[in-house]
Amino acid sequence: MIKLELAPCPARLTPEFQATKTQEFKDTGNSVWDIEWLKEAVFDLSFGKCCYSEVKLGEESKNMEIEHFHPKSLYQDEVMSWGNLLPSLKKCNGKKGTLDTKSEPIINPFIHNPKDFFYIKACRYYAKDTNRIVAKRSIEKLDLNDRITFVNPRLDIFNGITNELADRKIDFDTFQDILIPIGRIKRLMQTGNRKKEYSALVSTIILSDDNYIAIEKLLIEKNLWDAELEALKSELNFCSLLPAAE
């Protein structure tokens, strides 16, 4: 999970339109938010990813559901409110269910910074000591550590990245033309961009890996740490959920 910025409300989602659709929902219970242009706007809020799990939506069986952060069954007046409509994987939306997020708050990445609540270790989410109750509730209610849906895919990503970093370290130790491994490490760092799937996980893996740390140190010592590398690292720092320094 990464910090997200709420885009401006779509022009077509006027107060009048919201009021009409809200009343329709109250009268009929219809899925009044099931509108193509609205779904597209919500989809774009999190770069086409589930705002909670960072799973890429729209692939295979990973269809997006519009998730009402404050549940529509309890807060009918917010059923069409911009900012209450979030892009979610069915797994997260279904697990969260009708949780009253006002009396039992969980993390809303459009409001809260997940860095203040979580860290990732061994491909699992853990609660930081600060805000521990909300963080633990979020992990449980969104099922962020479900083994089949989330942890196993994260482990595959972990293995892929750590193996590639080991290869990149060998590159730096053996290549005569150092520009080749620099290009490769830059491409790997780009996979931790906030627009990419599992960016919090990927960036955390990279920044905490001993081979990456050694490569960064080498490049700095050789005065080869350029502005592009610094920008890539800044993006990794933005997305990462590192444990607190011991």
Residue 239 in this model has a pLDDT that exceeds 90: yes
How many distinct structural domains can be found in the chain? 2
Give 75-85 pLDDT, tens digit per residue: 999 999 999 99
Q: Is residue 129 part of a domain?
A: no
For residues 234 and 153, state if they share a domain: yes
Higher pLDDT, 129 or 3: 3
CATH number of the domain encompassing residue 71? 1.10.30
Paired strand residues for 82: none
For residues 20 and 92, state if they share a domain: yes
d(Cα 115, Cα 243) in Å, to the nearest integer?
9
E strand or H helix at 45: helix 36-45
Give 157-199 pLDDT, tens digit per residue: 999 999 999 999 998 888 777 888 899 999 999 999 999 999 9
What is the pLDDT, as a whole number, of residue 88?
A: 95
Range of the domain at 206: 147-239
Q: Give the other-Cβ count within 10 Å of 172's Cβ.
A: 19
- Global confidence as pTM: 0.93
d(Cα 189, Cα 126) in Å, to the nearest integer?
24
Q: Which of 56, 58, 66, 44 is nearest to 153 (CA)?
A: 56
Give 103-132 pLDDT, tens digit per residue: 999 999 999 999 999 999 999 999 998 889
Q: Is residue 47 part of a domain?
A: yes
Q: Is residue 20 part of a domain?
A: yes
Paired strand residues for 127: 118
d(Cα 218, Cα 221) in Å, to the nearest integer?
5
d(Cα 92, Cα 135) in Å, to the nearest integer?
15
What is the pLDDT, as a whole number, of residue 62?
A: 66
Over residues 199-221, the mean pLDDT reads: 96
From 69, 103, 137, give the residue that closes a domain.
Answer: 103
**What is the 8-class DSSP label of residue 148?**
I
DSSP helix/strand/coil, 84: coil
